[in-house]
Each structure stands twice: as C-alpha cells, then as structure tokens.
Amino acid sequence: MSQRLILFAKYILTMDRPKPIEDGFVVIQGSRIIQVGKRKDLYLRPSLRILDLGETILLPGLINAHCHLDYTSFKGRVRYAGGFRKWLSKMAMKTRATIPAEFKRSIQKGIKESLAYGTTTLCDISTSWESYPLLRQSGLRAFVFLELIDLGNPSARDYWKGFQEKLRGLIRSATPTPTFRLGLSPHTPFTVSKELLQLVRVFLQDHQELLTTIHIAESREETDYFRKGKGSITERIKILNPDWNRPRKTSPVQYLNDCGWLPKLDLGVHLNEVDEKDLRLLAKNRIAVVHCPGSHAFFKRGPFRYSRMRRHHIPVSLGTDSLASNQSLSLFREMRLFQKAHPTVSAQEILSMVTVRPAQALGFGDKLGQIKPGYLADLIGLPLPPGKADSSDLAGRVLRHYGPVSFSMVNGESKLRLSLTK
Ligand SMILES: [Zn+2]
C-alpha cells in the first residue's frame, strides 16, 4: 500500500460545495483523494507524509477542453485577413510545410506552458500524430483526438483505409493508461465528406471507448455553405471536390444530425452560429459545447449565445484552441475573457467550465474536476498574496490569477512545486 500524503492549504476550493474550506487538508493515497476536511478535525498519525502549502488556494487541476499543441509555435505567424476560409488555407499550407521535429518542439512547448498555467488535463486535437507519445510520457492527463480531413482527397474510402491502418497500429501500441486516452476528431462538417463521416461512424460502433469531437458552426462562411450553398467555402469545395454532395437549406448541426453523428458526439467545439432548432438538437443529444474565448476574439466572432445554451441545459466548457489564433494557453485568461463578455455569470460558474463540466463531458464526472473522496488527485495551488483574503470571493480571486501556479499534481504525483513552506 502506498504511503498516504497530506496536503495542508489555507483554502480549499473543492468545487463540490458552495463555500471553500478554510485551513483545510486533503489526504491522498496513490492516485486518489481519500479524505478532505478542516485541519482541526484531522487525526495525525506519524506515518503520514505532510506537505504544507501554507498561504495557498488549493483547487482541482484545470481541464483544457480544446487545444492544438501542434500549432503552439505558430503563435502570431498566421495572420487573419480576408476571411476564415483563407485563414484555414494558410493554416493547411503551413502545416504541410512543417516537419515532424518542429511539431515535436511545438508540442513540448505547449505541454510546458499548459502545466505552468495549472492545466492538468488536456484535450488535444492532433493533426501531426506527434503529440500522443509526448503527452503519454508528459505525466499530464491527456485525451488525444486524431484529426480527419478528406477535403481535397479524391476518395474517402482510400483516405479512411490509410487512416485506419495507422490508427489500428496506434491502438495496439498506445493502449490507454490511467492518464492517457485516444479519440477521433473529424475536423468540421465541411472538410470531411459525408462518406467519410459514415465510415467513421460505423467504425465507432465497435470502438465505444474512443471519444469524439468536431469543430461545428464556427463561422458565417460555414453557415452560408450549409444554408445557401454559397460563399467562399462553397467555392473552394467546388474546386477541390466537385463531386461532393453539397447540402442546402440546413445548418451544420442539423447536417451532422442527418448524418447520424450527434448521438455519438461528445464535444462540439465553437457552435457560434446556432439557432433554436440547433440548440434543441444539441440538448437532446447531450452534446457538451466547448467555447474558446481567446480564439473567438481573434476571429472577431459575434456574441457567443451562452444564456440560450444555459436555458437549454447545454453544458459549456472552455478551451484555448491553438496559439495560431490565441495568445496564451492559460485557462485563467480564457475565464477572464469569458467573464468580460458575460459579466452576469458568477466566477464559480465560470470556474466550473474548466473543472466540473469538462470532466463530465469526458465521461470523468465521477473522477475529475472536484476535490472529494474517491476522486483522482489532480490538484493545483495558487499563492495567496499577503494580506487578509476575502474567502467569500475566492473563485473571483482564482479568475484574477496571473502567471504560473505554485503547485500542481496529476494522478497523485507532484509536477510543480514553488514557494513551499514545509
Ligand atoms: Zn480548434
């Protein structure tokens, strides 16, 4: 039996109860939390290891529900001008010109930055397929979604055959570990053919363990393609795949529903352009939406319809997207951007978008995102500035945190420890 570790902290924000625990403790055994409470109620035994974090807010490790570590080094290098379709083409060209060693450097940089900013779980969309061994070894909890795009490919069947051969090899070699899982990400409903969507959907019937995510209804150009069969995306598809069945008078969400994809979809990313019918479909299929405030601002999107989603009980999580369309992999910054755009939403609710909600979306609602007995020990600590802390606004204080965290633990293992008092 592994030795028990006790963490002491000035405040523990469990995300399980409305008020923080003042002068609290967490007992950890192996990868699990086994006890949480107030320091004065703890019966100390000499065999226990103690780590006193002192003037610290201890909270669940943050979950980034959407990022692309491949593109960390693209920061500031893909200008947005001339519309979203052009930006996507620039990204595709840059990706093709990037060698594996550069992707690896980019991913390592992204892992380091994420960890420093308190992220303990990453959902990474992998185009290069280089992130899975790196994330697997990183000690971060990771969900790697392999990306599929067959736009510009003459045969969906041939594309899928090649993808599947690589994928089967990967599934054999990269079996799930306690901190690593694989998933699939058809890129968007307009860069993946209907035929490929169908082939992947059938494959998933025998691979229920694979999670799925898709970028949906991100831009006006995408909506124009589905609703009117017009616009820059439509023109591009006409050139690249003239034989594709082009949809009409539908929406990206309704199109995916008609393709039979919504019941299998776990994370729907962006959903900026949605109407009431779309929202009803998302709610009915229990799709978790991922919103990326930094990327949203980069592309100057219209208002994100959070209150409508909340009315439909659609859970929203936050992600950073890639640094090709964002400045930082800090989820603290994403929370602040969300708060600025939605000032009536409480700090506690915003914090749940990077803890409780993404944990539930990933099927880990009973294991991650909260500090309570039986849950995995993924924790972070934030230093409290000197002076009296106002415990009634602790979540607000968390959102106002800048810079690296002072403590980080994934699966019961310390990853980062600064300014310890003991
Ligand atoms: Zn993305």
- Supply the pLDDT for residue 389: 65
The whole-number pLDDT of residue 386 equals: 73
Distance 56 CA to ligand 1 centre (A): 33
The residue-averaged pLDDT of 87-107 equals 88
374 Cα–ligand 1 center, Å: 32
Question: Please, which pLDDT band fits residue 1 given cuts at 50, 70 and 90?
Answer: low
Q: Kindly give the distance from the C-alpha atom of residue 405 to the centroid of ligand 1, in angstroms, as a whole number.
A: 25
Is 70 exceeded by the pLDDT of residue 157? yes
Q: Give yes or no for a contact between 199 and 157, defined as CB atoms under 8 angstroms apart.
A: yes
Alpha-carbon distance 15 to 17, whole Å? 6
Average pLDDT along the chain: 92
Q: How far is the CA of 321 from the centre of ligand 1 (A)?
A: 5
Confidence band of 422 (pLDDT split at 50, 70, 90): very low
Q: Confidence band (pLDDT; 50, 70, 90) for 387?
A: low
**Which secondary-structure segment (H or E) carries 133?**
helix 131-138
**pLDDT for res 111:** 95
CA of 179 to the centre of ligand 1 (A): 22
Chain segment 137-149, per-residue pLDDT in tens: 888 999 999 999 9
pLDDT at 128 over 50: yes
User: 110 alpha carbon to ligand 1 midpoint, in Å?
Assistant: 15
Q: Could you tell me the distance, in angstroms and rounded to a whole number, from the CA of residue 52 to the centre of ligand 1?
A: 39
Q: pLDDT value at position 8?
A: 96
- In this predicted structure, the answer to whether residue 291 has a pLDDT above a threshold of 90 is yes
Nearest to 333 by CA among 57, 30, 98, 116: 116
Residue 412 has pLDDT above 70, yes or no: yes
Rounded to two decimals, the pTM is 0.95
Query: What whole-number percentage of the chain has pLDDT above 90?
Result: 73
Q: Is 117 left (phi over 0), alpha (psi -120 to 50) or beta?
A: alpha
The pLDDT score that the predictor gives to residue 418 is: 57
239 CA distance to ligand 1 middle (Å): 24
User: Region 67-73: what's the mean pLDDT?
Assistant: 94
Q: Domains along the chain? A: 4-61+370-417 (2.30.40.10), 73-361 (3.20.20.140)
Q: How far is the CA of 416 from the centre of ligand 1 (A)?
A: 28
Q: What is the pLDDT of residue 415?
A: 81
Q: Alpha carbon of 319 to those of 119, 289, 332: distances in Å? A: 11, 10, 11
Is the pLDDT confidence value at 214 over 90? yes
For range 375-382, the mean pLDDT: 98
